[in-house]
Structure 1
Amino acid sequence: MSVRAKKHLGQHFLKDELIAQQIADSLTETGYKNVLEIGPGMGVLTKYLLKKPLITHVIEIDTESVEYLQAHYLNLANRIISEDFLKIDLTEFFGEEQVAIIGNFPYNISTQIVFKTLENRHQIPEFSGMFQKEVAQRIAEKEGSKVYGILSVLTQAFYDVEYLFTVPPTVFNPPPKVDSGVIRLIRKENYTLPVNEKLFFRVVKTAFQQRRKTLRNSLKTMNLSDNLREDSIFGKRPEQLSVQEFISLTSKIEKDAV
């Protein structure tokens, strides 16, 4: 019995054992004992996770995959969560315990997985996984680059991001049309911001919605005082600002509103 890859779920099953092992080995295994694999499919990555001194859990929305895993991975027992990762409450399954996230992520929901991780960062110290290469690069990119954007800034505000390696389409069934990239996020020691986080998210998103314009123009909708808009930072375009500068910009906007 094997599982048929379903297009509507964005499934591309990894068939290369060496790459599966490399992804499993990208976990540092420090500061947590639980790991949650998203979208295990037929368990090519799962079997390497099960060899580690971690408690492996998997979450899978595809009922055919769930049946396959139940039949072939008896040592997973009751740690197969047959739900949608984007909709679950982690505390329901892990209480307050820390849990690392790993997976060969379906391309169509990969950025939502990152946003869900950021929302739950107090519980997710580490995150390792495979994305479409372009998305992986965007998450890891630094300021000054054309692909640096919302995802880069918001992720790097809370995690140290490392692009690990590129994976060709040939190692998947069915092969995707593009290369994939594996990245690792390790939560920063201080993962809360010294500014209002909601405002920080809003500033970053608003700035990049018109990324070719200077901040003076792209942040017009935020009704900033003329005095603040004279600050030299407003002459820059969003891609020129480091994460630290976005934090400092948010702080200035916060004080301006008082």
Structure 2
Amino acid sequence: MHTGIWPWPTNSLLEEALLHVEQSLVRTTKVRTWSSVLKLSTENELISSASISEEDADAESKPFALAEVPKRRHVWTETAREQHKQACKAKGKLTLGQKLEIVRRHEARDPEDHKTQAQLAAMFGKSRSAISKILRPENISKLKKISDTGIHPGVKRFSPAQHPELEKRMHQFALEAASRGACRRAQLCKIAEAIAKEMGILNFRATHGWYSRFVRRHGLAKSPRENAASPELAANATNETDLVRGSSSSSNSSLVEV
């Protein structure tokens, strides 16, 4: 007869219940472990795929590495080769007058008179780099100072004067003396030393070498052809040379470029 009170479980029932609980816990732990493993593997896959995507994106954003293309050799046309040859092998250097003309034409404001560097190179048979060098501001200033001292525009090379103002005054005196007639070398040298002393130049000596360079610079020397045509004049030139305006003689000793 049922008294309304549950019977106390036996040891076997308790053991069976504990076994069921233990098995449930084991199953739960395994499920959680597998879930963690799956989650971790999924995260690793996502990270790997993300890194691969970034690498692909970087690779796409980077420009392709181009192989070095060998430089092509410059192919000369016959016309270009001839022009280059003429510019490089042009005999003689430009005179002071030609250089001043290049400066004048390049600085000219009149469109009809103004010339570009390329046009000047073609006009004077020189390379464009040579024209560009002449037109540098420091070279333009140098050319104008040389011209102001009275240097003959036909000279290509000259020995630089140590005293430009003395050179300028002697140039004016020489022209005036030549216009009146003849001027002896001794007279010119004496006047040069007197003017130098007046200007306070104490270390100046009007030697024969100075005289020879002076008349060449200013285009006042007789040409070798004129001296050869007149033996008397050639003899006099070795002693008391007359100062006469003529073409400048050429000499390479102790000369510098204009």
Same fold? TM cut 0.5: no
Kindly indicate which of the two structures has a greater share of residues assigned to strand.
Answer: 1
TM-score w.r.t. the length of structure 2 is 0.24
Bigger helix share: 2
